Structures are given as C-alpha cells and as structure tokens.
Amino acid sequence: MMNTLVKILFNKKLIVALAKFFLRVQVKGLDNIKDLQDKVLFVANHNSFIDALLLWAFIPEELCFTINPIVAKKWYVKPLLNIAKFFQIEPNNPMAVKSMIREVNNGHKIVIYPEGRVTSTGSMMKIYPGPAMIADKTNAQIVPIYIDGTQYTIFSYYRNKVKIKPRTKVVLNIFKPTKLNIDKDLKGEERKKEITKQLFDIMTNAKYYSASDDKTLFESLIEAKNFAGRRFKVVEDIARKPINYGQLLTAAFVLGKQFTKHSKQKEKVGFLMPNAAASVVAVFGMQAYSIVPCMLNFSTGTKNMISCCKTAAIKTVYTSKQFVVKGGFTDLIKTMEDEGLQIIYLEDLKKEITLQEKLTGLFASFFPKYYYNKIKGDVSVEEPAVILFTSGSEGVPKGVALSHRNIQANLNQIRAVLFFDVQDKFFMALPIFHSFGFTCGMVLPVTSCIKVFFYPTTLHYKIIPELIYDTNSTITFTTPTFFSGYGKSAHAYDFYSIRIAVVGAERVKEETVKSLFTNFGISLLEGYGATETAPVLSVNTPMYHKKGSVGRIFPGIQMRLDEVPGIKDGKKLVVKGRNVMLGYIKSDKPGVIQPLEDGWYDTGDIVSVDKDNFITIKGRAKRFAKIAGEMVSLTAVEEMITALWPTYQHAVVAIPDEKKGEQLILFTTRPNTTFSEISAAFKAQGSSDLFVPKKIKVLEEMIIMGNGKVDYVTLVQKATELFS
C-alpha cells in the first residue's frame, strides 16, 4: 500500500510540474547526452537533499544513484529508495568502489557525487578519489552536471545562512561527455592523486561554464540585491556608517542622474576618488547610466595623470573637494584645469539634487531592473565597463579597456576556485584604481552579497591590522609588501578571523610567508594576473597550492608558452580568454581601443609550468639583461640578494655598459652593502660573476608605486643619472 502511494506521489510528470512551478527548474545541455555510449558515469555537485529527485525527474535516462548509508536512513529520503535504483556506499569504502566499477561495466548509468556529502558551504567541497577511480578503471565517459540553485532551498544545509525564497530558480547544467587522460605509467598513490585532480578540474570547469557572463555590472548588482534583500548592509568605510543594497541602489540612481547632466552615455570620464562608500556609489551610478569611468591613479604623479587623461581622451574628471584637500591634490587639480579638463566635484552635484530626483531614485530602488532597462540605453556586455591604466612600471601608462563580460568572466573564474560565503567580510585597502582593487576588492564582494570595508590607504601599517580585527574581516586581497608591513605592526590576535589572504602584483618573499604563518597562522595564497586580464589569471587555493608558484591557470583560459631567444629557464606566457581585455588605448590614438591580434595577450612574463599545471614566475621578459652575450634574470638576482638579507628591500635594474652591453645596478635599504660581500656569497653558491651587481646605491626607503610594486622606471632613471 505504501509503495503504491509513493509511486503515485512520485510520478515523474507530477514531480516535473511541481519542480517547474516552485523551483522554476531549467535544464541546459540535454543535447549533450543524446547519443551516450556504454559505460557512462554522471558526476554532479551536491547542494541539497532533492538533487537526486530532480536528476531522476528531468534527465531522460534510466539512472542509478549512489547514497550515503547515513542519509539513506532519513525519513524524507526513504520514499525515494522505492522509485529509483540506489547504491548505498561510503565515500572511502574500497569495496563500494569495486561494486560501482562492476555496475558501470554492466552498462548501468550511475550518478555519483564526488564530494560524498551535501555541501555546507553552498559551493563545491572536497573531492573524493572514488568516483575518479571508477571512471579510470572502467574507461567510462564522464558526464559533468552542475546543479545551481538547490543550495538556496529549505532542503539544503545552507538554508540557515541565506534568505530562502518561495520560488528559487534551479538550473541543471549538463555538459558534454569527457574522459580522464591519465599516463599509463602512473601507478599507486600518484595515479590516485592525478585522477582526483582531473575530476576536480572537470567539476571546476562545469561550475565556471554554468555561470553567466552575459550581463552588465549593474545587472549583477541588482541580482545581488534580489538575492540578499535590500536591507543587507554591503558597504562600509571609515565613517562607520554601513549602507545596504536599497541605499546603494537609491544613491546610484540619484547620483547617476547628476552625471548625465555633464556626460553622455558611453562617454569616458575621469574618476579621481579614494576607497570609500561614496566611490562605490559613484562607480555604480555611472554604470547605471552607461557612462564609462576611467580610474585615475592619484599616486602616479601629475605627469602620468595628465598623460592618462590625454590617452583616454578624457574631458571631464569627477572627484571630491574633501579628498582633494585632504590628499594634497590642489596643485594637481589646478594643472588639470590648465590642461583644459573640466573638474566636477561630487559635493557640488549633491547640492543640485532635487526632491523629485531623490523620490524617483527611491522608487527606482524598489523596481531596479525595470528602471535600469529604461535608462541604460543600448549598452552591450561587449562594450567597456571601465578603463584602467597600466602601472607605468615599464613606461608611459596605457589605457586598458575592460568590458562588462571581461570582468564578469573573471569574477566567475575566481568564484569557481575560491569559496566565498555571505557571512564573509572583505577588508579592502588596495585602491580601486588598481585592477586588483577594482575587480576583487569592490565588484566581487558587492555583487556576491559579501560585506566589504574600505580603507583609503594601504600605508597605515599600524591602523589596518586593528581595523581588520575590529571589523572581524575574513578575506583580504593585497600585495606581499603591504601584508608584510601589517604583520610587523600587528598584535598576535589582529588577524584571528582571516581565512583567505590572497596576495599578488609582486613576488612573495619566503621571509614574509614564514613570518605571517608563524606569528598569525595565516597561509598566504599567492596569485597572479595583469590589468589586461581583469586581472586574475591564477591563484593558489586551500585545496591546490604549491610553494613558490602562483597557482594553476583559471578555467576558461587558453595558455601558450613561447620560446624567447637566449632564455633557457622558462618561456613567455601568452593567454586568451573571455576575461582578456578589449584592447589598449594608447597615446598615439587617443580614446581609440586597439584590439589584440586574435585575442591573445602577451603577458611579457617568463614562466615555467610543471606537470600539475602550477605556474612559477621566472621574471619579466623585459627584466632580463644581456651581459657579455648571456641573458641574466634581474628577478633571479634580486631573489639571491633577498635570500642573503631578507629583512631588507632590494631592487636590481640594468643600464647600458660600453664593454659588456649592460651592467646591473643594485638599490637596497641595507646599510653598508658592498660588492665584495655579494660576490663572495654568490661564488659560494656557484653563481657566475655576471650575476653580481657592479654598482650599489643604498636608499633609506625603497621607491615603490601606490599599488605596492617597485617603481623600476624611476630606479632606472636614477641609476642612469648616477652611474652612466
């Protein structure tokens, strides 16, 4: 009687109808499983207790499911055992794996969850080797399925962390069958690790390709508001007055309207603002009305600032009177005005706002999608969302045009490999004119329903650790130099809440890694990227990391390694992907975006890639000197000197030399450093005299730019003046 009732209630057509109504279930990729051959293994992420029910109802195949014996005893799961075939297995039970291998060889189409349990984070968790071993032993096709949306239902562990909606949208993403590609000579534990890694990559790719990048940044803001609710406090700064999504949308619509009185849609305008809540409002105010902010680097100096404005054909610059006065930029503003730029202050715009405009913005914040579609114009996701500028570390800054799709793709890549939670809190001191700060520090948390605290400068080494402690921040993105500085001033408990610390923009010193782990228990996750790639290309993760590397290349990115004449240890990295920029804006054609040839971006970095696809940076192609016919890596020389005196800062540049082509110049903060002690140390290591800098200049402080990178342009100029 009970079995009959279960079969009536769990009729496929009835389940499909109910699921479509309550969960708005959508299935993508059914065509990918039309012509399945024998020996098929479906692998899916596991968000909730109804995943199996949905797969059984919506996939037109006779599926067999695996289930944990503990879960099988749940009262709400038992009815499902009567309508489909289930195998009760322990994730690490070798006998269970053998039985699965037998079933796959017998032609059963099995669905298995590599995580072995329902996620408690809302994202993918640890991958067990069992499913990969089954595919390896049977040579079965793997059909990846990424389920999105069920983690936000009452049937998930994640339900207590997010706002559950009556009609959650669920998508079943089915991908083309693939197979593991394992070296036949790989045996034992090494083989197990390799097949597990490949299965993890398959699932990571499925997660990335399931996420849409076909939306503008403002549409992502609206989606975040719809998910978390308008009262979710998302942005805070040193004023300690957090603003919620409702306030952010209202202010963006109101302020954005003021921008349209001075700037046209799709016009490129200068943006000269610090890390502050007002800056977030202003950026998204421009996004709402399809005005393109050009993020000006106020630490780069007047000459480069004017150069950036001319390069991007900027006519109008938006800034704040308070920021100009406190930052000491009065002379800069005067120079800009002398160059014909129109300076508009946000304080003046605020005075011009009418009551009607305030009420319109408030009303629009309750219906943001409707209002945005009305005001945005014909903007495309392939058009520029922002113009950033290269650091100028190797010459005059160039404009980098990043489209909405470029940034969205990079956000999806980051989310595919790093786990973020709505209960996380970002601490961001990196400036938003920096690509790292713009994408990772502002857009990522604001569009991911994660509260972010903005601090206006990276250089307050004593204040920032205290604020990280005070705000209970769990995530920070910065540079190794800055984090090292924070560590020297911090109390042992200041970083207690930090669970993810990503560093990039420069190489991490071994001393920094040891110090932060020993003193604070923080494992730095070194990443790598470029402004031109929106910006992140790779990052070490808690699951896959390797000392000395910058992680593994992101999903969705093609990688090419080109030979460089004279350089034996490494090749030049060239990449292509949806996160790679639209193109450069150069001074020879102001305001014109010059696209890349065939979409490939030459990073200019010399790298090596190991068998596990971890990338190790050897140096920049331009950071090699040719001395007596030999190519010498300036980065390698820096690292050797840093190993001698790790508590000091060192930078090596090259200038012309009449006899040997080029000569090395060392800038160091270590007093009384001599040629003879470096030479002796290098000889003891077996290094050639070519690696020893011929001239040394001691500095009180290393010359760095606002983004934490060494200012090599200034150092080369200084070396030329001193030693040519």
Distance CA 450, CA 224 (A): 9
- DSSP secondary structure code for residue 614 in this structure: B
Amino acid, res. 479 = T
For residue 46, the Cα-to-chain-centroid distance in whole angstroms is 24
Cα-based angle 645, 647, 648 (whole degrees, multiple of 5): 75
Identify residue 510 by its one-letter amino acid code.
E
Would you state the structure tokens that stand for residue 672, as one six-digit string?
């009384």
**What is the rounded distance in angstroms from the CA atom of residue 48 to the CA atom of residue 118?**
6
Partners of 632 in beta bridges: 625
The C-alpha angle with vertex 291 and arms to 289 and 297, in degrees rounded to 5, equals 140
Please give the Cα distance from 36 to 109 (Å, whole number): 10
For residue 227, give the nearest of 507, 448, 478 by alpha carbon: 448
588, with CB counted inside 10 A (0-12, 13-18, 19+), is exposed
d(CA 615, CA 538) in angstroms, rounded, equals: 8
Cα–Cα distance, 70 to 341 (Å, whole number): 69
Catalytic residue among 46, 404, 434, 650: 46
- Nearest by Cα to 483 from 451, 524, 538: 524
Q: Identify the residue whose tokens are 């910065």.
A: 478
Question: Phi/psi at 173 (nearest 5 deg)?
Answer: -100, 115
Tell me the β-bridge partners of 552. 539, 614
46 is annotated as an active-site residue: yes
Q: Distance (Å, rounded) from C-alpha 54 to C-alpha 109? A: 16
Contact 398, 585 (CB under 8 A): yes
Centre a 10 Å sphere on the Cβ of residue 64 and count the other Cβ atoms it contains.
Answer: 18
Q: How far apart, in whole angstroms, are the C-alpha atoms of residue 264 and residue 251?
A: 19
Residue 397: cis peptide before it, omega within 30 degrees of 0: no
Angle made by CA atoms 292, 215, 230, in degrees to the nearest 5: 90
**Calculated CA dihedral for residues 428, 433, 437, 440, nearest 10 degrees:** 130
Reduced to 3 DSSP states, what percent helix, strand and coil does the chain have, rounded to the nearest 5? 40, 20, 40
Catalytic residues: 46
